[in-house]
Amino acid sequence: MPHRPLPPSIKVHRNPDQDALRALAMTHTPAVARSSTGTLNKVSRNKSRVAKYTYVIGTPEDAARYSAQLIDPARAQALIERQRAFLEARGQVIEVQGRLGIGPRAASVQWLYSVEAANIAGMQQVLAFPAETPGEGFTPDFRVIYTPDCAAEGMPGEQAIVVDLDEMTTYILGPDYFGESKKGALRMLCAQVYAKGGLVLHAGAKLVHVGERDVTMTIMGLSGTGKTTTTFSKQGSLTQPVQDDMVALWPGGELSVTENGCFAKTFGLSEATEPVIWRGTLDPRAWTENVYLDEDGVADFSKGALSPEEVARLADVLVKTGADPEKVAAYAAGLHDLDELLDERGAPMDGWDFVKWTENGRSIIPFAAVDDAADLTRLPPVRSMGILNRDEGADAATPGLVRFTSPEQAAGFFMLGETTKTSAAGKETGKTRSPFTQPFFPLSHGLQARRFSALAETMPGVDLWMMNTGFVGGDGRSVKQGVGLKVKINHSSAMLEAMLSGQVRWVKDPDFGYEVVDVDAPENAALLQIVPAEILQPRRLFVAQGRAADHDAWVARMRRERREFLRRFGVDEAIVTATCG
């Protein structure tokens, strides 16, 4: 549908307000309920984005240009026409006009939704900044067209996210998860910003008050690493939240924002640990997705296994969102015990996913509901940039806090994007790497490392760091056994506060050449009262437990794997050497 007006037979709900979008969602969106605090909660079929069904339009000759899988132009056009016919048959569409960002760096976006996606339209409107000149004459930089009930026939999973980077239009057929709408526009922004000399980072950002000056800090991280938690946690009176997910970096450390709210994970959410996100999620202006509501509409952010009685109450919702009706009925009738439906890791067996509530609950919170948010129109330059690695497992040996010694070394570790997958959105677990934690960058990933190095050279005095938000020497089970250590939220806040205040005494790590906290220095005594020395220097834990050889093997393997990963993307050899030695 690029550059083609909608047929006149289609009724357009143009820029409906939030009340109207809630009414449309209650009428047309399946599996939607109102919570006890007034938010609307959607239970979706898709519990996460489907990268495997995302395609950039191109021919085999274009393969070197893009990081995503390609779809032949003719096949793409057939899907586009199918979607257009679907909208004509439905006879109505919701249009949201808005901007990614504010000021001269902002990009205008037109989002078009079939009516069953009214909840997604409402969520997207919260995150978007208002259009400068809304109405029939609105001219967007990007267009996203989203039809959850239009199956992509003939495609794997009958779902497809088709990205046309020439026309800057994304077509979404089949998924019903909000993240596809959000990332659909941001993916195109990545390409536009790169073409203009910047780099979009999959990062939160916060304003930091250091002495007599203010600086901006960015925090990169894949889903589940604690990016939003770190962004919205306080370090004394030093910080104010700016963004929780995507920002654009420009020469000199200029930062441009993208969203007017945040898209937060809600599993395990509590007022004690994440008060800003907790209050925002319960605000009636918020929307939620895949949050468990009890019979009174009260949210349970830590819901795990469902009882037969709970499955019976939710049977209609579960079946509408993909569960097998016969299995739902059998479990509700008490014909199966929970334990027989779980594997050795505690994950549901195929076809029985519904017996455990997804951990990938989400909330969309308007920035107006965020306590003590920064003024997005007056952001100082970026002078602190970090990446989160949620390390986990018996070989988890990433130090609690690392300071990089050069832009090249930082570019290498940012390019690695190391973390541990969580089971929040499914069954995939284990260590992973994702360039710049940026699975949305549609161009060749090696471009990110080169661009970052160039930008960092224009930012004198920038602090570049990495923080482990997971474990050292184990996981949740081994922590209970006294073997591993958990990096807690108060540990992360203490490490960041000490670093931002300039109170850390550093020492060179003998294995990778970056700097770690000197646990023997008197200057770090206050930090060590909060954070165990073994988190700051994991080798100490391995040595104390007689596992020094395991640590040495981890170092050797990391050097080898990191070198292979970076070279696979054609990263400059100077960056490889600075990262791997």
Q: Is the pLDDT of residue 574 over 80?
A: yes
Percent of all residues in the chain with a pLDDT value above 70, rounded to a whole number: 98
Give the Cα separation of 30 and 576 in Å (integer).
50
Q: DSSP letter for 197, please.
A: T
pLDDT the model gives residue 375? 92
- Helix (H) / strand (E) containing 454: helix 446-457
Give the Cα separation of 120 and 145 in Å (integer).
12
CATH architecture assigned to 199-259+372-580: Alpha-Beta Complex (3.90)
Among 276, 54, 66, CA closest to 170: 54
Instruction: Tell me the whole-structure pTM to 2 decimals.
Output: 0.93
Q: Is the pLDDT of residue 85 over 50?
A: yes
Greatest alpha-carbon span in the chain? 75
State the chain's mean pLDDT as an integer.
94
pLDDT the model gives residue 209? 87
Q: Is the pLDDT of residue 429 over 70?
A: no
Give 216-271 pLDDT, tens digit per residue.
999 999 988 888 888 888 776 678 999 999 999 999 999 999 999 999 999 999 99
Give the Cα separation of 109 and 87 in Å (integer).
19
Extents of the domains making up the chain: 11-30+50-176, 199-259+372-580, 282-362
pLDDT the model gives residue 1? 39
What mean pLDDT comes out for the span 31-57? 96
Among 487, 491, 468, CA closest to 479: 487
Give the Cα separation of 68 and 259 in Å (integer).
24
Distance of CA 177 to the CA centre of its chain: 13
Q: Are β-strands 382-389 and 463-468 bridged in parallel, bridged antiparallel, or unpaired?
A: parallel
Residue 425 has, within 13 A of its CA and on its CB side, a CA count of 17
Neighbours of 483 (CB within 10 A): 15
Give the Cα separation of 166 and 274 in Å (integer).
41
Give the torsion through C-alpha atoms of 330, 34, 291, 489, to 10 deg: -150
What mean pLDDT comes out for the span 429-450? 91
pLDDT the model gives residue 226? 87
At 219, the amino acid letter reads: I
What mean pLDDT comes out for the span 321-350? 95
Give 147-188 pLDDT, tens digit per residue.
999 999 999 999 999 999 999 999 999 999 999 999 999 999
Among 416, 448, 430, 438, CA closest to 512: 416
- The CA-based angle 575-579-581, given to 5 degrees, is 105
pLDDT the model gives residue 236? 65
Give 86-122 pLDDT, tens digit per residue.
999 999 999 999 999 999 999 999 999 999 999 999 9
Give the Cα separation of 569 and 412 in Å (integer).
11
Judge whether 188 and 174 are in contact, CB under 8 Å: no
Q: Is the pLDDT of residue 349 over 50?
A: yes
Task: Show the tokens assigned to 342.
Answer: 């779980």
Q: Is the pLDDT of residue 423 over 80?
A: no
Which residues have a Cβ under 8 Å from the Cβ of 566 and sit 6 or more positions away? 412, 415, 416, 449, 575, 576, 579, 580
Q: Is the pLDDT of residue 371 over 90?
A: no
Q: Is the pLDDT of residue 480 over 70?
A: yes
What mean pLDDT comes out for the span 69-86? 97
pLDDT the model gives residue 346? 87
Q: Is the pLDDT of residue 38 over 70?
A: yes
Distance of CA 291 to the CA centre of its chain: 17
Q: Is the pLDDT of residue 430 over 80?
A: no
Q: Is the pLDDT of residue 427 over 70?
A: no
Segment 101-104 long-range contacts (CB within 8 Å, at least 24 positions apart): 101/129, 101/248, 101/256, 101/257, 101/258, 102/129, 102/257, 102/376, 102/377, 103/256, 103/377
pLDDT the model gives residue 510? 95
pLDDT the model gives residue 525? 97
What mean pLDDT comes out for the span 264-288? 94
| Superfamily per CATH, domain 11-30+50-176 | Phosphoenolpyruvate Carboxykinase, domain 1 (3.40.449.10)
Q: Is the pLDDT of residue 424 over 60?
A: no
Q: Strands (DSSP E) along 392-462, which ranges?
A: 401-403, 418-421, 430-433
Q: DSSP letter for 104, please.
A: G
Q: Is the pLDDT of residue 316 over 50?
A: yes
